[in-house]
Amino acid sequence: MADGVRRLGPLAENLKLGEGGEGGRDNDIARETFERTGASAMGKRMFDLGEQAWPEEAPFHTPVFVVTHTRRDPWERPGGTTFHFVDDGIETALDQARQAAGDRDVRIAGGGTTILEHLNAGLIDEFSVALSPVLLGAGTRLFDGVDASRVALEPVRSDPSPRVTHLTYAVHPR
């Protein structure tokens, strides 16, 4: 920001908030995540919140599999995002996401309850958390619901920046 202009990074670009971006590890991590992700899975509550907030060109640019109890036809958005609604569980949604992703990663996009369900079911190999000193006041506490009798978390990487600390864990069955 040497010229006094704040530039937007890859996350902002994906949200269609502008082009360009500040350098730095935060943007590198966001870019690396987008590049290696071939499909995403998310819960219905996260989809409902995002459906209201995302621009017309949703920020995923890959297939997204929404775990829900309601049947719904796929919803195709400009830019490569198609939401598929899966009404028979997280395993089925994850299987479909893996098929769609090919040799790329499947990202469990959230929300917290959906992440916990995947984690406790042994369906996650590795996950990353961006920890920032911002108090939101609500939401699901991610680690409160981890079943420590079934899952062990091994720290893999900690990547601090001035804004956030990126934590990566390997997940092992107990």
- Cβ neighbours of 24 (radius 10 Å): 12
Q: Catalogue the long-range contacts made by 154-157 (C-beta closer than 8 Å, 24 or more residues apart).
A: 156/126
Residues 6+ apart with CB under 8 A from 117: 90
Query: Which CATH architecture describes the domain 23-173?
Result: 3-Layer(aba) Sandwich (3.40)
Tell me, what's the pLDDT at 2? 42
Lowest-confidence segment of 14-18, 69-73, 147-151, 157-161 by average pLDDT:
14-18
Distance CA 138, CA 1 (A): 32
Residue-wise pLDDT for 46-93, tens only, equals 999 998 888 888 989 999 999 999 989 999 999 999 999 999 999 999
Per-domain boundaries in the chain:
23-173
* Residue 57: closest CA among 75, 41, 40, 79: 79
Instruction: Return the percentage of the chain with pLDDT > 90, whole number.
Output: 53
**Residue 14: pLDDT band with limits 50, 70, 90:** low
Q: Calculate the alpha carbon distances from 34 to 69, 74, 134 in Å.
A: 28, 22, 24
Give the global pTM.
Answer: 0.83
